Copies of this chain bind each other. A is one copy, B any other.
Amino acid sequence: MKHEVDLNKYSLRTDLMIEAAKNVDNLKLNEENFDGVKVTEIDIDDEKSKVIGKKVGKYITIEFDDVTDINNRKKVLDVFATQLSKLVKLESKNDLVLVIGLGNDSSTPDSLGPLSIAGINVTNHLYELNVVDEHYQRVAAITPSVMGKTGIETSSIIKSVADSIKPKLIIVIDSLASTSLSRLNKTIQLTNSGISPGSGIGNRRKEISLETLDTPVIAIGVPTVVDAITIVSDTINYMVKHYIYSKQHLNIPKYKLIVNNNYLKEDIKINNQDKETLLGLVGKLDDNELKLLLNDVLSPIGYNLIVTPNEIDYLMECLSNIIYSGINKILHDYDENKIV
């Protein structure tokens, strides 16, 4: 199927380095697994930056299962705090840290930033009064809201405040868009390369980074929404794997008895012949071509919906709990695990 329409209409952008990285050869991924929580660290230098189209910096991706389970939540918190501590470089407890919760508190899937800020222990004003215990870091926090509610470019509000209070470190928290069903609400990305507010959910806005703010920036992002194109293209890929797996196992009696067989845990070799038999012309497309086609199909009729799981309210509560507890733990030397 020759593709006649504009290839740029659907930007195949991802906010997650780990998704961008899978398209690049020879990229060193440092992977570790902590009791089911997977951490992937990728360092992007100047050269790799050009290839992969992502900014120079360290990217740490934490992947995990359902955080509505309290035991899993505690495990993710421990890993998150440990990884965050790798990026936080401060010389003294008096160094001011500005924590920024991006997003919209009246839109549930975009409320991760504001919900996280609500749990951050803020101390900057107490430092002015000299009434802070020595284990507390100097911390300020803002929730600049979104341009649709303020009328002001969010990066402009942040730059104004940062120029005024001159923090030594900025930590930014935001909801992201996922380009994979499997990472939705199951991934935290940490990076020292900055972020563009609303890049996931709304239009990409001006960048918040060391370059724009003259201050080191740590960005913490969680993919909380996904578009219909991603759901369909992921599912089509799963169909292929399911088909090949089923064909191989069709005559094995045991297979038929297995309910909810998780075929993704098997090593399945995709061959083009099977793919095209199953899917015809669609089976001839690579991933990018498939997404472009889906964009051509869904966008003109207004159905490339951006969606979020129906239990998003509780997921946001659990995820923000991990983020503010982890930040408090690292900045303020908390001994206690505050997960509830």
Contacts and interface: CB of A to CB of B under 8 A. Distances in A.
9 contacts: A107-B311, A124-B152, A142-B152, A231-B307, A238-B297, A260-B299, A263-B300, A264-B301, A307-B309
Contacts of A150: 122, 124, 140-142
A260 B165 contact: no
A4 interface: yes
Given A124-B151, A234-B303, A338-B340, 17 more contacts: A4-B246, A106-B118, A109-B310, A110-B310, A122-B150, A125-B151, A142-B145, A181-B305, A182-B303, A238-B297, A238-B301, A239-B293, A243-B281, A262-B300, A263-B301, A280-B283, A305-B309
Interface stretch (A20-28, A81-89, A154-162, A213-221): A154-162
Contact of A225 (B1, B165, B310): B310
Contacts of A142: 145, 150, 152, 157
Interface in A1-37: 1, 4-5
Contact of A310 (B293, B296, B308, B338): B308
Contact of A279 (B109, B282, B296, B309): B282
A111 to B, nearest CB: 9
A189 interface: no
A246 to B, nearest CB: 8
A contacts with B: majority SS: helix
A314 B107 contact: yes
Contacts of A139: 151
Interface of A: 1, 4-5, 106-110, 118, 122-126, 139-143, 145, 147-153, 156-157, 159-161, 163-165, 181-182, 184, 201, 225-226, 228, 231-232, 234-236, 238-239, 242-243, 246, 250, 256, 260-264, 276-283, 293-294, 296-301, 303, 305-314, 338, 340
Given A165-B156, A297-B242, A122 B149 contact: yes
Contacts of A250: 4
A122 B151 contact: yes
Contacts of A163: 160
Nearest to A258: B300
A261 B307 CA distance: 23
A235 B122 contact: no
